[in-house]
Structure 1
Amino acid sequence: MPEPRRLLVLRHVPWEGPGLVTTGLQDVPTEDRLVVDEADPELPPAADLAGLVVMGGPMGADDLLEHPGLVAERRILADAVDAEVPVIGICLGMQLLACALGASLHPGHGTEIGLGPVDLLAPDPVLDPLGPRPEVLHWHSDAVDLPAGAALLASSPLTPVQAFRAGSALGLQFHLEVDRSLLGAWLAEPFMQADLAAHGISGMAEAGERVLPSLTPAAIRGLGTFAEAVRARA
């Protein structure tokens, strides 16, 4: 009997894990890797995966010399889309996905940090439960163009491409994976504290307490459709 396919999670810093994305996937074998600084990481063939999740991080999607593992991450993202593997890329992961599909990155396009709304522009099973203009968690300054052939799903005035769908892959510039517990872990990290201080941002915990109790159940429902697709391939 063949071994079940795995869910591969690629993170770029230890504290930015998959959070709500893996709710309901405890029965699927999961490989959680941090390969961003490896020159030639050994990643499995994309077609052998049950699913692929690529998380956020403080580096840029074009920082390929400083973080050579990003080259392999781009490659496996492109291969996963070709193989119709369920994919979610979040923040940096979304930017890597867009670049892997030929779109351009715009470093320093505009800083969005904190809880703020996005406009949902087209139906998608992951985003539909959120409602037409959900308030979500942002933490980025780079932006990407929409990949050719992809469907634009969400936008904000500062960041035109907040979410897109390219076949089996979903890119999210915002952090749908974060609940109150994960946000608390982020806010306890010295790096994240320094980033907030550098941008003069306060009150993140209070905003999370206001928004996340209602957002989290909707996020779990939407992300459950990704979990179903992963389980179908496992």
Structure 2
Amino acid sequence: MRRPLLVLQHAPWEGPGLVAVAVSHHAVGVPVHTRTVLDDADAALPRASSLAGLVVMGGPMSADDDLSHPGLPAERRLLAEAVQAHVPVLGVCLGMQLLAVALGADLHHRHGTEIGFAPVDVRAPDPVLGPLGPDPTVLHWHGDAVGLPPSSTLLASTSTTPVQAFRAGSAVGLQFHVEVDEELLGTWLGEPAMTDGVDPAVVAQVRADARRTLPGLVPHALTGLAAFVEAVAARA
């Protein structure tokens, strides 16, 4: 029996999106197990060695909000164990922050809000990030930030968020959202938990920018995600 890809979600509307599309194209036959354990104080997660890969998605909570979400420590332990075991890992937004904290980085609460489509400064080549091209325009939706984990490589930054992406061995963390296509973004923008407190003009700008940006961005995002998924398939 093949080892599975485990996807950890923190909100029902923040699903794997284009990651799932890449799996369907490049990892046929690899089981995908999706779980939400952030509120489970006794979260029973599998050992990293039993996984083909690990994807940790975004969410509205902070990466160290253990009192409100007692399952987060189990996620961080699994992330650290996966990197040590050379399991392919993809952390997105909150998932990147959990990965960074698990590897010893500092978490900076309310460091600077970035919501909408804007470029990132690519600092180093990487199979997942490289297909997006130099200084790609991507979707941001976050307020917290992290430092760079020890012994990791900075992949991308912005002036507001110096660590926008990093590589640590088999793991890549992305503060921004390459998994989003028009359908998933429409779900986000229809979800009050995402848009409450956001200026309606900002939401309208996100919609308008998505129509211009996503048709060109999605094919390149899928190419980068394919590199991650192919590593998962090789381990399954």
- TM norm structure 2: 0.96
Report the 3-state secondary structure (helix = DSSP H, G, I; strand = E; otherwise coil) of the residue aligned with 1:138.
strand
The match for 1:120 is 122
Report the 3-state secondary structure (helix = DSSP H, G, I; strand = E; otherwise coil) of the residue aligned with 2:138.
strand
Aligned counterpart in structure 2 of residue 4 of structure 1, from 2, 5, 8: 2
The match for 2:47 is 45
Alpha-carbon offset, residue 59 of structure 1: 0.3
Query: Residue 16 of structure 1 aligns to which amino acid in structure 2?
Result: E
Do residues 83 (structure 1) and 80 (structure 2) align?
Answer: no
The match for 1:73 is 75
The match for 1:94 is 96
Q: Deviations over 1:75-134 (max 9, x none)?
A: 000000000000000000000000000000000000000001101010001111111110
Query: Residue 141 of structure 1 aligns to which amino acid in structure 2?
Result: G
Alpha-carbon offset, residue 187 of structure 1: 0.7
- Distance in 1, matches of 2:155 and 2:146, equals 14
The match for 2:171 is 169
Alpha-carbon offset, residue 197 of structure 1: 3.4
Which 5+ residue runs of structure 2 have no aligned equivalent? Answer: none
- Distance in 2, matches of 1:57 and 1:199, equals 22
Aligned residues: 232
Give the RMSD, CA atoms, in angstroms: 1.2
Report the 3-state secondary structure (helix = DSSP H, G, I; strand = E; otherwise coil) of the residue aligned with 1:52.
strand
Report the 3-state secondary structure (helix = DSSP H, G, I; strand = E; otherwise coil) of the residue aligned with 2:22.
coil
Q: Deviations over 1:157-199 (max 9, x none)?
A: 1000000000000000000100111101111111112142389
Alpha-carbon offset, residue 19 of structure 1: 0.8
Which 5+ residue runs of structure 1 have no aligned equivalent? Answer: none
> In the alignment, is the contact (CA less than 8 A) between 2:121 and 2:157 conserved in 1?
yes
The match for 1:138 is 140
Do residues 232 (structure 1) and 230 (structure 2) align?
Answer: no
Aligned counterpart in structure 2 of residue 22 of structure 1, from 20, 23, 26: 20
> In the alignment, is the contact (CA less than 8 A) between 1:11 and 1:34 conserved in 2?
yes
